[in-house]
Chain A
Amino acid sequence: DTAVSQTPKYLVTQMGNDKSIKCEQNLGHDTMYWYKQDSKKFLKIMFSYNNKELIINETVPNRFSPKSPDKAHLNLHINSLELGDSAVYFCASSRGLAYGELFFGEGSRLTVL
């Protein structure tokens, strides 16, 4: 059983399209995250939710909208995709806001043409 799973793993789309990435964790964790890894492999936090409540909202274009229907799921919707949105997007979870390590999904590679 995969602890943190993301779908799709790969996504190729045209500029201007809208796409979503889904994330689910079966660890019973309270806190979930979205991270973006750019072409230089740098990892930067985008959003964090704790028990479905938005805790961290970094300087991310408002074309990116996270949604947490319950504490086991955190989805990322991206409107009007741009070339610069091409990256690997990682979902992660942790037991709570201040508990130890994050557990990561396998990442979703988004390519915008």
Chain B
Amino acid sequence: AQTVTQSQPEMSVQEAETVTLSCTYDTSESDYYLFWYKQPPSRQMILVIRQEAYKQQNATENRFSVNFQKAAKSFSLKISDSQLGDAAMYFCAYRETSGSRLTFGEGTQLTVNP
């Protein structure tokens, strides 16, 4: 079974600084999707960024970018110019291209300090 591990239960960053959240996963598949979701106190699950495993180029969405290392099975999220509104629980997630299951990591609670 695929597993997703987020080794940082909590992280904090100063406003306007950069922070990196770590994620590793275990799979024997060669093609799959990886995602970062954000869950603010409102409880809503919001997609932050996605990466297809066949793409070598790292995905970027405005201030959010990933460092995808396929051989190392690592998928970290970098948040640049952190804003107060970035404070949330961040979940790394994995999905096979051949199946419907989305498997989540345990989450990293990000605090942004003014």
How far apart are the CA atoms of A26 and B23 in the complex, in Å?
32
Query: What residue of chain A has the Cβ atom nearest to residue B37's Cβ?
Result: A104
Task: Identify whether the interface residues of A are mostly helix, strand, loop, or mixed.
Answer: strand
B: which residues have CB within 8 A of A?
A: 33, 35, 37, 39, 42-45, 47, 50, 89, 91, 95-104, 106-107
Interface pairs (7), CB distance under 8 Å: A40-B106, A41-B39, A42-B106, A43-B91, A55-B100, A101-B47, A102-B102
Interface size of A by CB at 8 A reads 26
Please tell me if A88 contacts chain B, counting CB pairs below 8 Å: yes
- Take A43-B104, A100-B33 as given contacts and tell me if A106 and B99 are in contact as well, using a CB distance cutoff of 8 Å: no
A: which residues have CB within 8 A of B?
A: 31, 33, 40-45, 48, 50, 55-56, 88, 90, 92, 94, 97-98, 100-104, 106-107, 109
